[in-house]
Structure 1
């Protein structure tokens, strides 16, 4: 195995583009004959993914593993925080939940010493099998009030001996102050780890920033290894559902309108990405009853806090609207938490989600759910209804659902169990995330509304193509050779 030092991308702020740059370098290194693997010591996201061995990690690291052409594993993201509202998060350690902690408890207790050691042990296991490890930081590297307890940025970089590259978002403005301030707030030993700066999301001719590049290098003493133009035409899955705020929130004419109900604790919003690429459909996210009622198809998505989100949509008067739409021949579907909401009732006797122990569901499907402490996390292959095509998906959920004996299952998995309820082509629900990544399922969902045929579309092949395009884009604008030269120092190749 060809060896390089770990390479780490950190940021001046959140959403600077670290995850995307990391994914691009995972693909570049793979193309160049290395055997890279991604690593993020701690992630905070409601967008998670099931590993092949039935554990849970952040979706971003699963995406980066995909860019490497390898299966994801928990060592790539040993600590995952899943916010559950009221300043609480479920802590996932090495792929399994270990309880809930408040933000105060998490950031004050024993400097996170145990989690830091656990995360580094995961890094060491990963680095024994892959090289280089492409590490990712979180947020800003210079949050002084959190620095002592931080397990994901410079503290981890120092322990891992990584070459660190600072990614700055020039599109939001203040790039000189953010770069200079981020570096100058580090201590001397930390500054030595910074090998280069990447100016990201530049609009216009990058040659216009030549003077700015020189200024930054003179101010910081650190080379600018790249100025990366802003792009919108390369598709890489988004890390966090905050991006939904910038997406469509209304119906349009001339397409099959698909509304995803926008929940405060929505999880796994990537369930709808493949559907969003279907030219027959217009996908939008909304919690506004006037917009939702204009849709042909409404989908209730997954939720980290199902009861709280059910209370939220009841306040918005969405459940009676969905029942009315169903009665008038429109389609209403539910995935995971949304599937639970479509049932008769949800109980939480142990107050796992909160103080509400019982709530009536929407009543569209004959199931009753009890929230449990145990979490099911598994990748699945399955058949959808009577279709013989083999589909792929994954389950991540807490709760057991009792389904009426008369209910027809929606899918049958390869391991022999059934899942979901099929009431009709216009009303069904399932625990299966990724069910809409499968073209035969999308075709069946859209069939009542359009006879238009579209050419075969493989979401997996499309994503692979986009990783290559991202790699090409970064190669054009980042000095990859300089990064290689730094990484080869004290590393056998």
Structure 2
């Protein structure tokens, strides 16, 4: 197998972005390239064309590589449901929920087998595999049964490049310390170092490059600049904080209700590129303010997160806000929270059977959670009863356990391609609930909704911004920027020579 593995000195050092850029660079050079990450831990997921669930980052990396995402690119996805437990998504389908200890004790051999199987599939179909690690390869307490860093490099027999984030500080200690803690056979795989997120004049780091190469004996393959607004979806809580910290200061104030077990926060990312929109998180009632609209996002544990809202008294603020005519959208778990009641018959949402909780009572519906998860790519149009253009296509995906039943006749939001209906459309669009993730990635709908808010504020309508086209151009720009700061010919030589051994 020809390939290369990008590992990091810590989480959020930029591994996903670098893998994405490498995939686009190689694709532009005519190479059949695929991303791979053996094990992801994230509630930010991507649904493949055949209705399977993988990590969001690998879906985006496949788009950058101009190939169709598949489960072989991320065979194991861990979706946290609490501080102790996570759902195992195995080859795109939910398998079981285990504690961290249970996962290490009972899943390791099965994990190794599916990683080997996945690498075999990818090696047969692609010329080069660009592999992403996770966290640090030298977490000593986890190293003996890890499934995502040096063990994967060994299984794939690929060289490793170590990435460090200079923006957070301590870059020299993090690199030297990581290399020092590796086993001798692991250390031999490290063929290069990349310094990421450098701000300012990169030539000022030339002495640092020289010191690192002399100290470690490993070449520095590039010093990459800090890239703002790169639109490459993150995977963890650190990514949420960094990605949404550079928000606009626009005249449309959209408040997102923060949920401890938020999932698929990539639903919100298009608003970061609407110049008139301020997107902000609301963690407690003191941060609620007077928004022009609120969004309640998806969650991996709806009942637990609703209980959190009630403890913070945010439920009362949301109810009062909606009663006064405020625009509100609930997506997936947020949609369920807006209903009248939630019933967890088998414990699939909370882990405790027959749990019940009253919702916010905004939408006349109750949700029952079942064991079987719905994961589907969705193609839809506005329901004719909404009064919106009924021929307007809407695309997205579903990932949810619950089934929502209305207690009286309502106006659905969408008509799906299979003829079924989805969601709730109330008060001419003031209140919307839907299971459709990536709703706001549809440029026409996002513009339609923002113009509803503009009309209420007495502002002029704005034209549609094509975020999808902008994002693909960003792949090209990021790839060009990264390539200009990498020793790219040397990286290709490393891939070719190692893969020819």
TM-score (norm 2): 0.93
Does residue 1:288 correspond to 2:262, yes or no? no
Return 198-207 or 236-245, whichever deviates more: 236-245
Task: Kindly indicate whether residue 234 of structure 2 is the aligned counterpart of residue 238 of structure 1.
Answer: yes
Cα pair 1:47 1:241 within 8 Å, conserved: no
The residue number in structure 2 matching 1:172 is 168
Q: What 5-or-longer segments of structure 1 have no aligned partner? A: none
Give how far 1:453 is off: 3.4
Aligned pair in 2 of structure 1 residues 408, 229: CA closer, same or farther (>3 Å)?
same
Question: Which of 306, 310, 314 in structure 2 is aligned with 1:314?
Answer: 310
Q: Is 1:396 equivalent to 2:399 in the alignment?
A: yes
Indicate the SS of the match to 2:81: strand
C-alpha distance in 1, partners of 2:117/2:82?
30
Q: Which moved more, 1:312-321 or 1:22-31?
A: 312-321
**Counterpart selection for 1:255 from 237, 251, 254:** 251
2: distance between equivalents of 1:382 and 1:34?
Answer: 35
Q: Which residue of 1 aligns with 2:360?
A: 362
**Paired residue secondary structure (1:309):** helix
Match for residue 477 of structure 1 among 469, 479, 485: 485
CA distance in 2, matches of 1:20, 1:114: 29
Report whether the alignment pairs 1:28 with 2:25: yes
Q: Within 5 Å, which residues of 2 pair with 1:198-209?
A: 198-209=194-205
| 1:337-416 matched pairs, under 5 angstroms | 337-352=333-348, 353-355=350-352, 357-385=355-383, 386-387=388-389, 388-416=391-419
| Alignment pair present for 1:163 and 2:159 | yes
Among candidates 15, 18, 21, match of residue 18 of structure 1: 15
Rounded Cα–Cα distance in structure 1 between residues aligned with 2:203 and 2:249: 42
**CA apart distance, 1:248:** 6.5
CA 1:363–1:252: 2 relative to 1, 3 Å: farther
State the shift of 1:189 in Å: 1.6
Alignment partner for residue 496 of structure 2, among 485, 488, 492?
A: 488
CA contact (8 A) 2:15 2:163 kept: yes
User: CA–CA distance in 2 between the matches of 1:21 and 1:100?
Assistant: 31
Conserved? CA contact 2:229–2:243, under 8 Å = no
State the SS of the aligned residue for 1:447: helix
Counterpart of 1:276 in structure 2 is 272
Provide closer, same or farther for how the CA distance between residues 73 and 433 of structure 1 changes in structure 2, counting only shifts above 3 A.
Answer: same
Does structure 2 retain, via aligned residues, the 8 Å contact 1:251–1:295?
no
Give the total of aligned pairs: 489
| Partner Cα distance (2:245, 2:343) in 1 | 32
Work out the CA distance in 2 between the residues paired with 1:479 and 1:251. 33
Between the aligned partners of 1:248 and 1:491, the Cα distance in structure 2 is: 39
User: Bigger CA drift: 190-199 or 438-447?
Assistant: 438-447
Question: How far off its partner does 1:427 sit?
Answer: 0.6
| Structure 1 residues 303-324: Cα deviation after superposition (integer angstroms, max 9, x where no partner) | 0000000000011112222221
Give SS of 1:448's match: helix
- Tell me by how many angstroms 1:440 deviates: 2.4
* 8 Å contact from structure 1 (residues 44, 83) kept in 2: yes
Give how far 1:139 is off. Answer: 0.4
- Structure 1 position 449 matched with structure 2 position 453: yes
For 2:425, which of 422, 425, 428 is the aligned residue? 422
Cα separation, partners in 2 of 1:250 and 1:189, compared to 1, 3 Å: closer
Which of 165, 186, 189 is equivalent to 2:185?
189
Judge conservation of contact 1:381–1:391 (CA < 8 Å) in 2. Answer: yes
Cα offsets for 1:235-280 (capped at 9, x unmatched): 3222334333357699998612111100100101110111232223
Unpaired runs of 5+ residues, structure 2, are none
Q: In 2 relative to 1, CA 252–171 (structure 1 residues): closer, same or farther, beyond 3 Å?
A: closer
SS, match of residue 216 in structure 1: helix
Tell me the alpha carbon deviations over residues 413-456 of structure 1, each in whole angstroms, 9 at most, x when there is no partner. 11221100111210110000011111222233223331433333
1:325 match: 321
TM-superposed deviation, 1:86: 3.5
Check whether the contact 2:158–2:499 (CA below 8 A) recurs between aligned residues.
no
Q: Say if 1:183 and 1:191, in contact at 8 Å, map to a contact too.
A: yes
Aligned 8 A contact 2:340 2:360 in 1: yes
Checking the alignment, whether the CA contact within 8 Å between 2:254 and 2:292 is kept in structure 1 is: yes
1:281 CA drift (Å): 2.1
* TM score, norm. by length of structure 1: 0.95
Give the C-alpha shift of residue 491 in structure 1.
Answer: 4.3
Say what the alpha-carbon RMSD is for the aligned residues.
Answer: 2.0
Mapped contact 1:275–1:437 kept (Cα < 8 A): no
Question: 1:224 maps to what in 2?
Answer: 220
Residue 54 of structure 1 is aligned with which of 51, 56, 70?
Answer: 51
Match of 1:88 among 64, 85, 88: 85
2: CA distance, partners of 1:467 / 1:252 = 22
- Indicate conservation of the 8 Å contact 1:88/1:100, yes or no: yes
2:35 is matched with 38
Deviation at 1:233, TM superposition (A): 4.6
Q: CA deviation at 1:148?
A: 1.4
Find the partner of 2:75 among 75, 78, 87. 78
Match of 2:467 in 1: 459
Residue from 124, 130, 136 that aligns with 2:132: 136
Tell me the distance in 2 between the aligned counterparts of 1:334 and 1:463. 25
User: Which range is displaced more, 273-282 or 420-429?
Assistant: 273-282
